Amino acid sequence: MEEDFNLVLVLLIYALPVLLALMAFVIGGLIERAHFKSIRTREAAFAHYPAVPTCSLDGDRVVGEARLVTASIVVSLDYFKRILAAFRNVFGGRVRSYESLLDRAKREAILRMKEQYPEADLIVNMRINTSQIGTTDGRKKGMGAVEVLATGTVVRYQS
């Protein structure tokens, strides 16, 4: 009887992280796919509204207004991808889970800048900063959450 109980306990201890990882894999994957889909449709809507890192304006047009614009997003990996990234640390090489995380955060931050001024013509001097804002789970391991901040100067030409 007691052995049975111990077996259940041992199973629970070992099965729980696996279950969590499985749950994170399914839900995290769904969230990421939905986010990428929304990013793609919104990017298509802003196709004629560029955000450029240079500071050049159309010479023949008069600037009506120029204002600072900032937008940010804090993102984190799901539990499953965090485990994958930790394994990647052993062998080295490309960490794809972080690549897609940062890609999606950067594109989202740029879109949020544009959404603040939907009537403007372009964003010049666009800069992107990525910073780690500490481990969210209180442990020292892992990258925790990452903040992506996009800044720029939004320009509207006189019509």
Partner 1 sequence: MILTNTETIPGLNIVEHYGLVSGNTVRAKNIGRDIAAGFKNLVGGELKGYTELLEDARNEATNRMIEQAAGMGANAIVNIRFSTSAVAQGAAELYVYGTAVKVG
Q: Which residues contribute to the site for partner 1 (CB under 8 A)?
A: 20, 23-24, 27-28, 31-32, 35, 55, 57, 62-68, 70, 72-79, 81, 101, 108, 124-125, 127, 129, 131-134, 136-138, 144-145, 147, 149, 151-153, 155
Choice between 46 and 98, CB closer to partner 1: 98
Choice between 7 and 27, CB closer to partner 1: 27
Angle at 126 between CA 120 and CA 128, to 5 degrees: 130
Cβ 7 to partner 1 shortest distance, Å:
27
Cβ 100 to partner 1 shortest distance, Å:
10
Of the candidates 83, 63, 156, the one whose C-alpha atom is nearest the C-alpha of residue 116 is: 156
Residue 130 to residues 19, 86, 105, 108, 147, Cα–Cα distance (Å): 32, 20, 10, 13, 6
Cβ 14 to partner 1 shortest distance, Å:
18
Of the candidates 129, 142, 131, 140, the one whose C-alpha atom is nearest the C-alpha of residue 78 is: 142
